[in-house]
Amino acid sequence: MASKKQITVGGVLLGGGAPLVIQSMCNTKTHDVPATVAQILAMEQAGCHVVRLAVPDLEAAQAIPAIKKQVHIPLVADIHFDHRLALEALKGGIDKIRINPGNIGDKAKVKTVADACKAAGVPIRVGVNSGSVDADLREKYGVTPETLCQAALRNLEQLEDCGFFDTCVSLKMSNVFGTVKAYRLMAEKCDYPLHLGVTEAGNEHFGTLRSAAAFGGLLVDGIGDTLRVSLTADPVREIYAAKDILKALDLHTGGARIVSCPTCGRTQIDLIGLADKVEKALAKLQTRMTVAVMGCVVNGPGEAREADIGICGGRGEGLIIRKGEILHKLPEEQLLPKLIEEIQAMTGETL
């Protein structure tokens, strides 16, 4: 289930029933402030809610204030190995710290970071990856969903021992089955917000498919509060991929979702062309709605019934159907203009 606990990342709510938060990560050198700012602004434009920056050295940490001044979404510092970089990022006004506790060092260092985060009101993500499970767990049990979960719990407890509870958690594996199992286990064992992701997901095409398969398997059970689609691609593409996956799951907050049937021997209109035209014509729609584009009289009218509005094509002509009610019967070429006209009337938007 969606986490019971809610945290706040620079004003953005995470968990506890808040809308799903889309994240990505810059691939610029963080110390190159103009390049990093330009990339973050492009991500904001695409719909990113929270963005992470690599902080591999002091120069990167010290660039944070200059970056923050020029962007509008919360920033997360990605910290590995050196806990002092987390402290420097906090000084620079960072909104969240991601640590991979397996490589941050001893308890005293973790406590120093937790105390500083607590003082600043900054949450921490415990980010466990299949590549960085604690060596003792890995050697004993191998890299499994269970060991990722154990590694995460161990590190959450370490933070809890410091009196720190302002936490979210991720457990990324590079395969869908393992990722789903790890998050299901975690959702049973804690009520911290869960940050979903598949690590090393692959290029844009396969990475998006892998993420869709894993997020589908989790979100259908209400598991997950924020997500990142990791792609070996321009990070702005990760935002579009994330938004598309949410649309595919009907978890998008605005815009048209087109349902259209596969063409088959029964289809008597140019359905592929029509579906593409409808998608383009509605690209700017803000109101959330489902629009059906159906090619035949067998399943069309029945399945268009679930949509807010739809076209159902027959032989050279078709129907406009709204919530199951036939509004118009028109020649094929008049279907699209009339559909747009009706949607404009329903939403008050100009398309």
Question: What residues numbered 139-198 form the site for its own copies, per CB under 8 A?
Answer: 143, 174-177, 180-181
Six-digit token string for 9: 């990342």
- The residue among 80 and 154 lying less far from its own copies, judged by its C-beta, is 80
Q: Which residues pair with 78 in a beta bridge?
A: 54, 98
Residues 317-336 that bind its own copies (CB under 8 A): none
Among 43, 169, 182, 231, binds its own copies (CB under 8 A): 231
Whether the Cβ atoms of residue 156 and residue 112 lie closer than 8 Å to each other? no
Residues 32-91 that bind its own copies (CB under 8 A): 53-56, 60, 78, 80
Six-digit token string for 160: 């809890």
25 binds its own copies (CB under 8 A): yes
Among 220, 326, 346, 351, binds its own copies (CB under 8 A): 220
Nearest to 10 by CA among 42, 55, 48: 48
- The residue among 8 and 299 lying less far from its own copies, judged by its C-beta, is 299
- The residue among 25 and 153 lying less far from its own copies, judged by its C-beta, is 25
30 binds its own copies (CB under 8 A): yes
Strands (E) across 265-324 are located at 289-294, 309-313, 317-322
Least Å from the CB of residue 10 to its own copies = 19
Dihedral sign of CA atoms 72, 74, 78, 84 in order: positive
What is the amino acid identity at position 201? A
Distance in angstroms (rounded) separating the CA atoms of residues 129 and 66: 30
**Antiparallel, parallel or unpaired: β 124-129 and 167-172:** parallel
Least Å from the CB of residue 144 to its own copies = 11
Among 19, 131, 255, 314, binds its own copies (CB under 8 A): 131
Choices 91-99, 106-114, 147-155, 241-249; region in contact with its own copies by CB under 8 A: 241-249
Least Å from the CB of residue 124 to its own copies = 18
Among 201, 227, 269, 320, binds its own copies (CB under 8 A): 201
2 binds its own copies (CB under 8 A): no
Least Å from the CB of residue 251 to its own copies = 9
Nearest to 247 by CA among 288, 206, 305: 288
253 binds its own copies (CB under 8 A): no
- Cβ atoms within 10 Å of 142's Cβ, excluding its own: 10
- Cβ atoms within 10 Å of 149's Cβ, excluding its own: 23
The mark string for 88-107 relative to its own copies (x by CB under 8 A, - otherwise) is ------------x--x----
250 binds its own copies (CB under 8 A): yes
Among 70, 203, 253, 286, binds its own copies (CB under 8 A): 203
107-120 and 83-91 helices cross at what angle (nearest 10)?
Answer: 10
Distance in angstroms (rounded) separating the CA atoms of residues 319 and 334: 10
Distance in angstroms (rounded) separating the CA atoms of residues 236 and 213: 21
Choices 66-74, 89-97, 156-164, 294-302; region in contact with its own copies by CB under 8 A: 294-302
